């Protein structure tokens, strides 16, 4: 008979939950995970991983269309949408099964069902409304993630109006597509469908796309997308949808004018809300604000023995943030010494569009708003030998320093492979590096990373190759 008494029960097996469970097991805590659907959560099954598989296919298609620039001939290039989707699903399945293996390897007990608090130190697990188990635990971590935000009158139907889930498994390729929202999710889908031939329009209510990024990077991205053929409508709002037999007419307000535009399909990417329902929070001291659970820097809620991590606790809604929170939370529970609270300023953000966007720390404007006198460095991809050799001369690296202390306040990038490069600046911020250490660091040649060095040098009037 399965044991039902644990040191720790984690409700949710996503990138926050399963990582927390594995770390807990490593620290000697008897641990269980309750997962209602797929191990790996949204990230592995319907988010980070399968979207990257889709985007990789689109990237291959892009290269084939431009094969002549590299000395190759590729005529009559076509794609099989079903095979592209199937590859994406197989990648997701492989990794979800990998999480299952890791939990088993670390002797973490997994319960298939919906978990909720059932009194102090207790978790009830149900499946399809039927009881599965009653668990007892000294500590409980809530890691139930989040879901797509829906606005009244703009609800998805799964056929003509999609959420990210339907957008990942299309059965037909839309000739025209409206993407509502220009955050990472919206822009990645816009990039994927555009590169496969759809006529894409992006509507963003904020004055600029990718609104959490540095304004200069956002402007660069918009110019690049428009040059590719996308239509960008910033400072615009979708007021209503009217569904036809196989299309959707959207009423869009922009610049004080309203117009109707018809599209084959619509993708809604207007934010997310925390999965706080049916968790048994009533009668507890867990505080919820705007669908997210309030915690301290270690994941503790107002209810003794109850913790929360990941998307459930609010921005930034990133898998790597959830995983790190899980480790911090568990190590604090286990009494590990010198556990540092989460510093969201050192969490990198990545958007896998074409060109890619990545950043960490403060934007230039945010730094100024906080009272910093800044030194700003910029270096373009066109000045980098490796970028030119790759045929990827479009992009830039931007660094923001405190003029008085030399502290690296933020770094912002757009261009090929910047989602891989950003970690260098993330390490620098974590180590509290100043411009002096970065200037004295030797970067290998020829690499894209040399632009990171040049951007630092440029902030102090010392750039060599520009």
Catalytic residues: 445
Torsion angle of the four alpha carbons 384, 389, 393, 397, in this order, in degrees rounded to the nearest 10? -40
Contact 311, 145 (CB under 8 A): yes
Phi, psi of 448 (to 5 degrees): -65, -30
- Strand 130-142 versus strand 236-243 pairing type: unpaired
Instruction: Count CB atoms within 10 A of the CB of residue 112.
Output: 15
Burial string for 47-84 (b: 16+ CB within 10 Å, else e) reads bbbbbbbbbbbbbebeeeeeeeeeeeeeeeeeeeeeeb
Token couple for 288: 């919820």
CA 374 from centre of chain:
28
| Residue 455 Cα distances to 122, 175, 360, 372, angstroms | 53, 40, 15, 19
Task: Match 């050192």 to its residue by tokens.
Answer: 346
Q: Which residues contact 256 (CB under 8 A, 6 or more apart)?
A: none
Token couple for 423: 């970690």
| Residue 419 Cα distances to 90, 210, 215, 354, 415, angstroms | 23, 15, 18, 11, 9
Q: Which residues contact 39 (CB under 8 A, 6 or more apart)?
A: 13, 18, 33, 96, 99, 100, 103, 110
């Amino acid at each position: 008979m399965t044991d039902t008494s644990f040191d720790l029960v984690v409700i949710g097996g996503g990138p926050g939950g399963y990582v927390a469970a594995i770390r807990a097991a490593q620290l000697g805590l008897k641990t269980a995970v309750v997962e209602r659907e797929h191990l790996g959560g949204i990230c592995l099954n319907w988010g980070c991983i399968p979207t990257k598989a889709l985007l990789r296919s689109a990237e291959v298609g892009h290269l084939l269309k431009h094969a002549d620039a590299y000395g190759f001939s590729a005529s009559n290039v076509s794609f099989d949408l079903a095979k592209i989707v199937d590859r994406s699903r197989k990648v997701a399945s492989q990794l979800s099964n990998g999480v299952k293996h890791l939990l088993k390897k670390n002797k973490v007990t997994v319960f298939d069902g919906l978990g909720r608090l059932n009194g102090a130190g207790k978790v009830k697990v149900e499946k399809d409304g039927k009881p599965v188990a009653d668990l007892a635990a000294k500590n409980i971590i809530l890691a139930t993630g989040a879901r797509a935000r829906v606005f009244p009158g703009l609800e998805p139907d799964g056929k003509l109006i999609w959420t990210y889930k339907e957008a990942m498994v299309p059965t037909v390729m839309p000739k025209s597509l409206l993407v509502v929202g220009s955050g990472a999710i919206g822009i990645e889908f816009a990039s994927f469908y555009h590169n496969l031939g759809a006529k894409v329009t992006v509507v963003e209510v904020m004055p600029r796309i990718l609104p959490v990024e540095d304004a200069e990077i956002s402007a660069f991205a918009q110019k690049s997308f428009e040059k590719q053929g996308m239509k960008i409508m910033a400072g615009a709002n979708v007021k209503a949808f009217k569904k036809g037999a196989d299309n959707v007419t959207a009423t869009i307000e922009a610049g004080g004018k309203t117009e109707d535009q018809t599209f084959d399909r619509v993708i809604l990417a207007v934010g997310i809300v925390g999965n706080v329902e049916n968790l048994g929070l009533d009668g507890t001291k867990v505080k919820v604000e705007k669908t997210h659970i309030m915690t301290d820097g270690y994941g503790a809620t107002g209810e003794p023995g109850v913790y929360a991590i990941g998307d459930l606790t609010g921005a930034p809604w990133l898998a790597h943030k959830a995983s790190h929170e899980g480790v911090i939370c568990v190590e604090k529970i286990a009494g590990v010494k010198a556990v540092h609270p989460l510093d969201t300023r050192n969490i990198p953000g990545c958007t896998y569009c074409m060109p890619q966007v990545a950043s960490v720390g403060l934007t230039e404007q945010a730094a100024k708003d906080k009272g910093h006198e800044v030194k700003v460095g910029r270096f373009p991809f066109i000045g980098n030998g490796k970028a030119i050799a790759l045929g990827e001369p479009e992009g830039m690296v931007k660094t923001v320093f405190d003029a008085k202390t030399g502290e690296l306040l933020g770094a912002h990038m757009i261009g090929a492979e910047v989602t891989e490069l950003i970690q260098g600046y993330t390490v620098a911020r974590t180590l509290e590096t100043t411009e002096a250490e970065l200037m004295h660091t030797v970067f290998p040649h020829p690499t894209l990373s040399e632009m990171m060095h040049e951007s630092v040098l440029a902030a102090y009037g010392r750039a060599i190759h520009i």
